[in-house]
Amino acid sequence: MHSSPAFLSLLICSFLLGTAFSEEKEAAQPLTPKETQIRKDIKAMLVAGTRGDGKTYVQYIHPKMFERQAGLKEKTIKQIEKAQEAIEKVEKLLGEPFEIEPKFTKRATFLQTAKHEFAIVPVEIVTDSGFATVEVGNFILGIREGEQTEWKYMDGSKLDQRAIHDYFSDFPIDQPLPQVETKTKPKEGGFDDFMDRVDSPSFGSDL
C-alpha cells in the first residue's frame, strides 16, 4: 500500500480545498445585500485559506473558535501556510494547476434570535486531482451580534447542532443543517499513472 508524502499532501489539499467558493448559477430571486456580503466574505476567506494567507483567513473566523485552545489561532495560520507548500508541490508533480470547481449550491438560511443573527450557507466544491474527482458538500456558518454589520464565520464540517449550541446558547438545537459529505470518483488509469510517477526514481528530485 502506497503512503508517500506527495499522496498524503494531495489528500490534504483535497480536504482544505473542500471549502472553496464560486458564484452559483441560479435563476432564483436576486441576492439580498446581506447575502451578497456574506458570499463576498466567504470568497475572500476561503481564497486566503487555500492560497497560504493564514493571517487574512483567521480575521474572518469567529473568535469563539480560538477560545478553547491557547495558541490555536497561530497554529491555524501556520497550518495554512504549510498547506500552501503542499499544494504547490502537487501542482508541480501534476504539471498543471490543482483544479477546483466550487459553487454555492443553495441559498443561505437565516435565523434571528435576541442575541445573534445566524446564516447557514451551503457550499459545494469539485476538485480534479488528475487521478480522481473529489466532490465535497459542506456549509459555512455566519454569525453576527445584535445590530452589527460585520459577520464572522465557522467551518460547518466541524459542527453539528450540539456543537453550535455549545458556542451560542441561543442557536436552536433542532435546526436542520446541510449534510457534510465527501465523494471520490477515481479516473480510469489516473491513480496508477499518478503512483507510477510517485514510485519513479526521479520523483521528488525537483520538489
Q: Greater confidence, 67 or 12?
A: 67
Is 50 exceeded by the pLDDT of residue 15?
no
- Is 203 a domain residue? no
Helix axes 33-50, 72-94, angle to 10 degrees: 70
CATH number at residue 139: 3.10.450
| Angle in degrees, 0-180, between the axes of helices 5-16 and 72-94, rounded to the nearest 10 | 120
| Average pLDDT along the chain | 79
67 has pLDDT over 80: yes
Mean pLDDT of the region 135-144: 93
- What single letter denotes the amino acid at residue 163? A
C-alpha to C-alpha distance for 161 and 97, rounded to whole angstroms: 36
pLDDT of residue 5: 44
In a domain, 33, yes or no: yes
Where residue 193 falls among pLDDT bands split at 50, 70, 90?
Answer: low
Q: How many CB atoms lie within 10 A of CB 69?
A: 9
Whole-number Å distance between alpha carbons of 76 and 34: 28
In a domain, 201, yes or no: no
Domain assignment present for residue 104? The answer is: yes
pLDDT of amino acid 111: 97
Residue 17 lies in a domain: yes
Is 80 exceeded by the pLDDT of residue 196?
no
Say what the pLDDT of residue 35 is: 95
pLDDT at 84 over 50: yes
Give yes or no for residue 108 having a pLDDT over 80.
yes
pLDDT value of residue 126: 75
**pLDDT for 1 beyond 60:** no
Tell me how crowded residue 8 is: count the other CB atoms within 10 A of its CB: 12
The set of residues, in sequence order, having a beta carbon less than 8 Å from that of 177 and lying 6+ positions away, is: 120, 139, 156, 159, 160, 161
Read off the pTM: 0.74
Domain with 92 in it: 5-196
How far is the C-alpha of 176 from the C-alpha of 162, rounded, in Å? Answer: 11
Total domain count, the chain: 1
